[in-house]
Copies of this chain bind each other. A is one copy, B any other.
Amino acid sequence: MPFDRLETPCVLIDLDRVEANLARAQAYADANGLALRPHIKTHKLPRFAKRQIELGAVGITCQKLGEAEVMADAGITDIFLPYNIVGPAKLARLKALAGRIRLSVTADGAAVVDGLSRSFAAAAEPLSVLVECDTGMGRCGVQTPEEALALAETIAAAPGLVFGGLMTYPATGKVEAANAWLKAAVALLSARGLPPAIVSNGGTPDLWHAGEVSVATEHRPGTYIYLDRFQVEKGVGSFDDCALTVLTTVVSRPTADRAVVDAGSKALTSDTLGLDGFGRVVGYEDAVVKALSEEHGVIDLSACGETRPQVGDLLRIIPNHACVVSNLFDAVHLVRGDTVVETVPVAARGRVD
Protein backbone atom coordinates (compact mmCIF):
# COMPACT_ATOMS: atom_id res chain seq x y z
CA MET A 1 0.00 0.00 0.00
CA PRO A 2 1.35 3.45 -0.87
CA PHE A 3 1.60 6.09 1.85
CA ASP A 4 -1.13 8.29 0.37
CA ARG A 5 -3.72 5.72 1.42
CA LEU A 6 -2.80 6.06 5.10
CA GLU A 7 -4.64 8.17 7.65
CA THR A 8 -2.31 10.76 9.13
CA PRO A 9 -0.63 11.33 11.44
CA CYS A 10 0.81 7.83 11.68
CA VAL A 11 4.13 6.12 12.29
CA LEU A 12 6.22 4.50 9.57
CA ILE A 13 8.98 2.02 10.46
CA ASP A 14 11.55 1.35 7.74
CA LEU A 15 12.35 -2.35 8.01
CA ASP A 16 15.60 -2.23 6.07
CA ARG A 17 16.95 0.49 8.35
CA VAL A 18 15.83 -1.46 11.43
CA GLU A 19 17.69 -4.52 10.23
CA ALA A 20 20.85 -2.55 9.47
CA ASN A 21 20.77 -0.77 12.83
CA LEU A 22 20.28 -4.03 14.74
CA ALA A 23 23.03 -5.83 12.84
CA ARG A 24 25.50 -2.96 13.26
CA ALA A 25 25.09 -2.85 17.04
CA GLN A 26 25.25 -6.63 17.44
CA ALA A 27 28.46 -6.73 15.40
CA TYR A 28 29.97 -3.99 17.57
CA ALA A 29 28.97 -5.80 20.77
CA ASP A 30 30.40 -9.07 19.47
CA ALA A 31 33.65 -7.39 18.43
CA ASN A 32 33.99 -5.83 21.87
CA GLY A 33 33.10 -8.89 23.88
CA LEU A 34 29.92 -7.36 25.23
CA ALA A 35 26.61 -9.10 25.68
CA LEU A 36 23.83 -7.08 24.07
CA ARG A 37 20.57 -6.79 26.02
CA PRO A 38 18.40 -4.36 24.05
CA HIS A 39 15.87 -2.15 25.79
CA ILE A 40 12.48 -2.69 24.17
CA LYS A 41 11.06 0.67 25.31
CA THR A 42 11.86 2.09 21.88
CA HIS A 43 9.84 -0.31 19.74
CA LYS A 44 7.52 -2.06 22.25
CA LEU A 45 7.01 -4.78 19.61
CA PRO A 46 7.50 -8.50 20.35
CA ARG A 47 8.61 -9.15 16.76
CA PHE A 48 11.58 -6.82 17.07
CA ALA A 49 12.48 -8.20 20.51
CA LYS A 50 12.58 -11.66 18.95
CA ARG A 51 14.65 -10.41 16.03
CA GLN A 52 17.14 -8.81 18.44
CA ILE A 53 17.56 -12.18 20.16
CA GLU A 54 17.84 -14.03 16.84
CA LEU A 55 20.70 -11.72 15.93
CA GLY A 56 22.57 -12.53 19.15
CA ALA A 57 21.13 -10.53 22.04
CA VAL A 58 21.27 -12.44 25.35
CA GLY A 59 17.80 -11.24 26.33
CA ILE A 60 15.90 -8.00 26.57
CA THR A 61 15.50 -5.11 28.98
CA CYS A 62 12.12 -3.71 30.05
CA GLN A 63 11.57 -0.71 32.28
CA LYS A 64 8.21 -1.64 33.75
CA LEU A 65 6.54 -4.88 34.81
CA GLY A 66 3.70 -4.31 32.35
CA GLU A 67 6.16 -4.25 29.45
CA ALA A 68 7.85 -7.41 30.71
CA GLU A 69 4.51 -9.20 31.03
CA VAL A 70 3.65 -8.37 27.41
CA MET A 71 7.04 -9.61 26.22
CA ALA A 72 6.82 -12.81 28.30
CA ASP A 73 3.35 -13.47 26.90
CA ALA A 74 4.88 -13.15 23.43
CA GLY A 75 7.49 -15.80 24.19
CA ILE A 76 10.53 -13.84 25.36
CA THR A 77 12.25 -15.92 28.06
CA ASP A 78 15.05 -13.73 29.46
CA ILE A 79 14.18 -10.28 30.76
CA PHE A 80 16.10 -7.78 32.86
CA LEU A 81 13.93 -5.25 34.68
CA PRO A 82 16.33 -2.59 35.96
CA TYR A 83 13.81 -0.98 38.28
CA ASN A 84 13.06 -0.91 42.00
CA ILE A 85 9.92 -3.04 42.35
CA VAL A 86 8.06 -1.71 45.37
CA GLY A 87 4.75 -2.55 47.08
CA PRO A 88 2.71 -5.73 47.53
CA ALA A 89 0.78 -5.58 44.24
CA LYS A 90 3.87 -5.20 42.06
CA LEU A 91 5.87 -7.74 44.09
CA ALA A 92 3.09 -10.30 43.54
CA ARG A 93 3.20 -9.65 39.78
CA LEU A 94 6.99 -9.88 39.83
CA LYS A 95 6.88 -13.24 41.57
CA ALA A 96 4.33 -14.56 39.09
CA LEU A 97 6.49 -13.41 36.20
CA ALA A 98 9.65 -14.93 37.72
CA GLY A 99 7.89 -18.28 37.73
CA ARG A 100 7.54 -18.15 33.94
CA ILE A 101 10.83 -16.78 32.60
CA ARG A 102 14.43 -16.02 33.51
CA LEU A 103 14.10 -12.69 35.28
CA SER A 104 16.41 -10.27 37.05
CA VAL A 105 15.86 -6.88 38.64
CA THR A 106 17.77 -4.08 40.33
CA ALA A 107 17.69 -2.48 43.76
CA ASP A 108 19.36 0.64 45.08
CA GLY A 109 18.46 0.54 48.76
CA ALA A 110 17.78 -1.73 51.71
CA ALA A 111 14.01 -1.06 51.71
CA VAL A 112 13.75 -2.36 48.15
CA VAL A 113 15.86 -5.43 48.93
CA ASP A 114 13.74 -6.15 51.98
CA GLY A 115 10.55 -6.14 49.93
CA LEU A 116 12.05 -8.43 47.28
CA SER A 117 13.37 -10.84 49.90
CA ARG A 118 10.04 -11.11 51.71
CA SER A 119 8.38 -11.86 48.41
CA PHE A 120 10.90 -14.44 47.19
CA ALA A 121 11.98 -16.09 50.46
CA ALA A 122 9.75 -19.08 49.77
CA ALA A 123 10.16 -19.10 45.98
CA ALA A 124 11.39 -22.22 44.17
CA GLU A 125 14.23 -20.25 42.57
CA PRO A 126 16.03 -17.23 44.03
CA LEU A 127 15.69 -13.90 42.25
CA SER A 128 18.80 -12.32 40.76
CA VAL A 129 19.17 -8.73 41.98
CA LEU A 130 21.74 -6.30 40.58
CA VAL A 131 22.79 -3.17 42.41
CA GLU A 132 21.87 -0.01 40.51
CA CYS A 133 24.73 2.48 40.53
CA ASP A 134 24.35 6.23 40.01
CA THR A 135 27.50 6.89 38.01
CA GLY A 136 26.49 10.44 37.14
CA MET A 137 22.94 10.35 35.79
CA GLY A 138 21.45 11.68 39.03
CA ARG A 139 18.47 9.36 38.96
CA CYS A 140 18.23 6.10 40.93
CA GLY A 141 21.24 4.23 42.25
CA VAL A 142 23.68 3.92 45.11
CA GLN A 143 25.95 6.93 45.25
CA THR A 144 29.38 5.36 45.89
CA PRO A 145 31.23 2.08 45.32
CA GLU A 146 31.18 1.62 49.10
CA GLU A 147 27.38 1.82 49.10
CA ALA A 148 27.35 -0.67 46.22
CA LEU A 149 29.39 -3.09 48.32
CA ALA A 150 27.14 -2.70 51.34
CA LEU A 151 23.99 -3.30 49.29
CA ALA A 152 25.55 -6.28 47.47
CA GLU A 153 26.28 -7.82 50.87
CA THR A 154 22.70 -7.16 51.97
CA ILE A 155 21.36 -8.86 48.83
CA ALA A 156 23.73 -11.82 49.17
CA ALA A 157 22.55 -12.36 52.74
CA ALA A 158 18.82 -11.94 51.96
CA PRO A 159 16.64 -15.05 51.78
CA GLY A 160 15.30 -15.74 48.31
CA LEU A 161 17.76 -13.43 46.52
CA VAL A 162 21.15 -13.78 44.83
CA PHE A 163 23.51 -10.93 44.05
CA GLY A 164 23.52 -10.62 40.29
CA GLY A 165 26.03 -7.82 39.63
CA LEU A 166 26.05 -4.10 38.96
CA MET A 167 23.92 -1.97 36.63
CA THR A 168 24.11 1.67 35.58
CA TYR A 169 22.45 4.04 33.21
CA PRO A 170 25.30 6.47 32.67
CA ALA A 171 25.08 10.17 31.99
CA THR A 172 25.34 10.77 28.24
CA GLY A 173 28.90 11.48 27.13
CA LYS A 174 30.43 10.56 30.50
CA VAL A 175 31.95 7.22 29.52
CA GLU A 176 35.19 7.75 31.44
CA ALA A 177 33.43 8.74 34.64
CA ALA A 178 31.14 5.72 34.47
CA ASN A 179 34.08 3.45 33.80
CA ALA A 180 36.07 4.80 36.74
CA TRP A 181 33.10 4.42 39.08
CA LEU A 182 32.38 0.86 37.98
CA LYS A 183 36.05 -0.17 38.05
CA ALA A 184 36.35 1.00 41.64
CA ALA A 185 33.17 -0.85 42.59
CA VAL A 186 34.23 -4.06 40.87
CA ALA A 187 37.60 -3.95 42.65
CA LEU A 188 35.97 -3.36 46.02
CA LEU A 189 33.40 -6.12 45.54
CA SER A 190 35.96 -8.58 44.23
CA ALA A 191 38.22 -7.93 47.22
CA ARG A 192 35.30 -8.77 49.48
CA GLY A 193 34.45 -12.00 47.73
CA LEU A 194 31.54 -10.68 45.69
CA PRO A 195 32.90 -10.24 42.15
CA PRO A 196 29.92 -9.15 40.02
CA ALA A 197 29.06 -11.69 37.35
CA ILE A 198 27.33 -9.01 35.30
CA VAL A 199 28.22 -5.34 34.92
CA SER A 200 25.42 -3.90 32.81
CA ASN A 201 25.92 -0.57 31.13
CA GLY A 202 23.41 1.34 29.09
CA GLY A 203 22.34 3.59 26.41
CA THR A 204 22.36 4.36 22.73
CA PRO A 205 24.03 7.78 22.98
CA ASP A 206 27.36 6.20 23.96
CA LEU A 207 26.79 2.92 22.15
CA TRP A 208 29.91 3.19 19.98
CA HIS A 209 31.98 3.89 23.11
CA ALA A 210 30.55 0.95 25.06
CA GLY A 211 33.77 -0.99 24.59
CA GLU A 212 35.67 1.69 26.49
CA VAL A 213 33.85 0.79 29.71
CA SER A 214 36.38 -1.93 30.41
CA VAL A 215 34.60 -3.68 33.29
CA ALA A 216 31.18 -3.78 31.59
CA THR A 217 29.99 -7.21 30.49
CA GLU A 218 26.80 -6.14 28.77
CA HIS A 219 25.18 -3.11 27.15
CA ARG A 220 21.51 -2.13 27.02
CA PRO A 221 20.82 0.21 24.09
CA GLY A 222 17.22 0.99 23.20
CA THR A 223 16.91 3.77 20.65
CA TYR A 224 19.58 2.28 18.34
CA ILE A 225 16.89 0.25 16.54
CA TYR A 226 15.17 3.36 15.18
CA LEU A 227 17.53 6.25 16.03
CA ASP A 228 16.10 9.76 16.08
CA ARG A 229 17.07 13.42 15.82
CA PHE A 230 18.72 13.44 19.26
CA GLN A 231 20.85 10.39 18.50
CA VAL A 232 21.92 11.88 15.17
CA GLU A 233 22.94 15.06 17.05
CA LYS A 234 25.00 12.83 19.34
CA GLY A 235 26.70 11.25 16.34
CA VAL A 236 25.27 7.76 16.76
CA GLY A 237 24.07 7.62 13.17
CA SER A 238 22.87 9.75 10.29
CA PHE A 239 19.41 10.90 9.33
CA ASP A 240 19.55 8.22 6.64
CA ASP A 241 19.74 5.61 9.41
CA CYS A 242 16.59 6.83 11.15
CA ALA A 243 13.95 4.11 10.83
CA LEU A 244 10.96 5.81 12.50
CA THR A 245 9.20 8.74 10.88
CA VAL A 246 5.86 10.34 11.54
CA LEU A 247 3.83 10.72 8.36
CA THR A 248 1.78 13.89 8.49
CA THR A 249 -0.41 16.00 6.22
CA VAL A 250 -0.03 19.72 5.64
CA VAL A 251 -3.45 21.05 6.69
CA SER A 252 -2.80 24.79 6.51
CA ARG A 253 -0.53 27.32 4.82
CA PRO A 254 -1.71 30.50 6.54
CA THR A 255 1.31 32.54 5.42
CA ALA A 256 4.12 32.21 2.91
CA ASP A 257 6.50 31.17 5.69
CA ARG A 258 4.23 28.99 7.80
CA ALA A 259 2.91 25.48 7.33
CA VAL A 260 0.74 23.64 9.84
CA VAL A 261 0.66 19.84 9.88
CA ASP A 262 -1.68 17.42 11.62
CA ALA A 263 1.08 16.01 13.83
CA GLY A 264 1.27 17.84 17.15
CA SER A 265 2.44 16.84 20.59
CA LYS A 266 0.05 13.87 20.56
CA ALA A 267 2.16 12.49 17.67
CA LEU A 268 5.67 13.90 18.15
CA THR A 269 5.60 14.60 21.94
CA SER A 270 7.02 17.71 23.60
CA ASP A 271 10.41 16.08 24.20
CA THR A 272 13.13 18.44 23.08
CA LEU A 273 16.08 16.64 24.73
CA GLY A 274 17.77 20.01 24.63
CA LEU A 275 17.30 20.50 20.89
CA ASP A 276 15.69 23.46 19.16
CA GLY A 277 12.46 22.45 17.50
CA PHE A 278 10.49 19.23 17.54
CA GLY A 279 11.79 17.21 14.63
CA ARG A 280 13.37 17.20 11.21
CA VAL A 281 11.24 17.39 8.09
CA VAL A 282 12.58 14.93 5.52
CA GLY A 283 13.25 16.72 2.23
CA TYR A 284 12.93 20.17 3.83
CA GLU A 285 16.08 20.28 5.94
CA ASP A 286 15.82 24.05 6.47
CA ALA A 287 12.27 23.84 7.82
CA VAL A 288 11.94 24.27 11.59
CA VAL A 289 9.19 22.50 13.53
CA LYS A 290 8.97 25.42 15.89
CA ALA A 291 5.83 24.82 17.95
CA LEU A 292 3.46 22.01 18.78
CA SER A 293 -0.09 22.08 20.07
CA GLU A 294 -1.70 18.76 20.76
CA GLU A 295 -3.00 18.35 17.20
CA HIS A 296 -1.01 20.97 15.27
CA GLY A 297 2.64 21.19 14.33
CA VAL A 298 3.72 24.68 13.26
CA ILE A 299 6.57 24.67 10.75
CA ASP A 300 8.64 27.74 9.93
CA LEU A 301 9.53 27.67 6.24
CA SER A 302 11.31 31.01 6.15
CA ALA A 303 14.73 29.43 5.55
CA CYS A 304 13.41 27.15 2.81
CA GLY A 305 13.76 27.75 -0.91
CA GLU A 306 10.97 28.42 -3.38
CA THR A 307 9.64 24.88 -3.38
CA ARG A 308 7.48 24.66 -0.29
CA PRO A 309 4.90 22.11 0.87
CA GLN A 310 1.26 22.81 0.02
CA VAL A 311 -2.03 21.94 1.73
CA GLY A 312 -2.60 18.22 1.27
CA ASP A 313 1.06 17.32 0.88
CA LEU A 314 2.42 14.46 2.95
CA LEU A 315 5.58 15.07 4.99
CA ARG A 316 7.74 12.69 7.00
CA ILE A 317 9.17 13.98 10.25
CA ILE A 318 12.04 12.40 12.18
CA PRO A 319 11.12 13.04 15.83
CA ASN A 320 13.51 14.25 18.51
CA HIS A 321 12.87 11.10 20.52
CA ALA A 322 11.59 7.92 18.91
CA CYS A 323 10.71 5.95 22.08
CA VAL A 324 8.05 8.32 23.30
CA VAL A 325 6.46 8.44 19.85
CA SER A 326 6.03 4.64 19.90
CA ASN A 327 4.11 5.06 23.14
CA LEU A 328 1.50 7.33 21.52
CA PHE A 329 0.30 5.10 18.70
CA ASP A 330 -1.86 2.01 18.96
CA ALA A 331 -0.29 0.66 15.77
CA VAL A 332 2.64 1.35 13.43
CA HIS A 333 3.09 0.74 9.72
CA LEU A 334 6.09 -1.36 8.68
CA VAL A 335 7.45 -0.16 5.35
CA ARG A 336 10.00 -1.06 2.72
CA GLY A 337 10.90 1.92 0.60
CA ASP A 338 7.65 3.68 -0.23
CA THR A 339 5.35 0.75 0.45
CA VAL A 340 3.54 -0.34 3.59
CA VAL A 341 4.04 -4.08 4.00
CA GLU A 342 2.23 -4.60 7.30
CA THR A 343 0.48 -2.73 10.11
CA VAL A 344 1.11 -4.06 13.61
CA PRO A 345 -0.25 -3.17 17.05
CA VAL A 346 2.26 -1.67 19.48
CA ALA A 347 1.75 -4.47 21.98
CA ALA A 348 3.55 -2.87 24.93
CA ARG A 349 2.27 0.68 24.38
CA GLY A 350 1.00 2.41 27.46
CA ARG A 351 2.34 -0.23 29.87
CA VAL A 352 3.22 2.37 32.43
CA ASP A 353 2.97 0.22 35.56
Q: Residues of A with Cβ closer than 8 Å to B?
A: 5, 7-10, 41, 63-64, 83-84, 86-87, 89-90, 108-109, 111-112, 115, 134, 138-143, 249-255, 258, 260, 262, 265-267, 269-272, 291, 293-296, 298, 310-312, 323-324, 327-330, 350, 352-353
Contacts and interface: CB of A to CB of B under 8 A. Distances in A.
16 contacts: A8-B87, A8-B353, A9-B352, A86-B250, A87-B249, A109-B252, A140-B252, A141-B252, A142-B254, A265-B271, A269-B269, A270-B271, A270-B272, A327-B328, A329-B350, A329-B352
Given A260-B139, A312-B86, A350 B330 contact: yes
A249 B324 contact: no
Identical copies in the complex: 2
Contacts of A115: 312
B270 A270 contact: yes
A41 B294 contact: yes
A206 to B, nearest CB: 16
A274 to B, nearest CB: 12
Given A41-B294, A294-B324, A295-B63, A108 B271 contact: no
A263 to B, nearest CB: 8
A297 to B, nearest CB: 10
B329 A109 contact: no
Contact of A254 (B90, B134, B250): B134
A17 B84 CA distance: 34
A99 to B, nearest CB: 19
A311 B266 CA distance: 32
A77 to B, nearest CB: 23
Given A142-B254, A254-B140, A295-B63, A353 B83 contact: no
A345 B90 CA distance: 22
Contacts of A10: 353
Contacts of A141: 252, 254
B265 A324 contact: yes
B9 A108 contact: no
